Structure 1
Amino acid sequence: MTAVLVAALAVALMVLRWDDANKVAVVVSALAAVAAVGVGVWAASSGTRPSGSGSPRVSRSGSATAGRGGRAVSGIADRSGSLPGEARVDRSGDARTGDDGDAVSGISRG
């Protein structure tokens, strides 16, 4: 569809006189700028979540190791409790920690 529009615009600009072609080019440029701003606003308002359910998913995350007093999470760590939807972890790896540490293989909230 885009290729057809570009080809039609190119033909129109070649056929028209210079003054008319200039006016058409200005109008097309203005419309493209407004469309670009609209797409930018739409993209910013939709957030950075991937398409689909909007629920975070982790699969085959591998292992996590923390030192003494540290925290190891092999999966999802949601300290704020603000994850959208229902979080899901499949086949997370091992989580290991030293003395006085915290290890979670799956989902850690809080």
Structure 2
Amino acid sequence: MTARRVVIVVTGLAVAATGGLLAMTKSSWTATVLSALAAVAAVGVAVWAALPGSSSRPETSIRVSGSGPARSGPGGSANTGLTGPVTGLRGSMDVERSGAADASDGGNASSGINLT
């Protein structure tokens, strides 16, 4: 069971126990009882939200092999390997025998992995 699930279960039990204890008091305290239940639930949800969640995205292996050459023009970019965002990246990346990347005209070139 993950830490997030444990926190939600404990929060539910704490709200139920608090409600049970406060139900034994005077019924004229309804607003106080409801406020106490909401406070206990809010603390539990805050702890739950602060814990890191598990990503539903599976790990993915990316492999680039034997790519051809690439040449960039002025202000352009060329990549013979792998280019992509680093955010949300899960899994492994492998670039083998990538082609030549030429930026002799003033652009940017990469023959490996270029994470943005």
TM-score, structure 2 as length reference: 0.45
TM-score, structure 1 as length reference: 0.47
Higher-Rg member (1/2)? 2
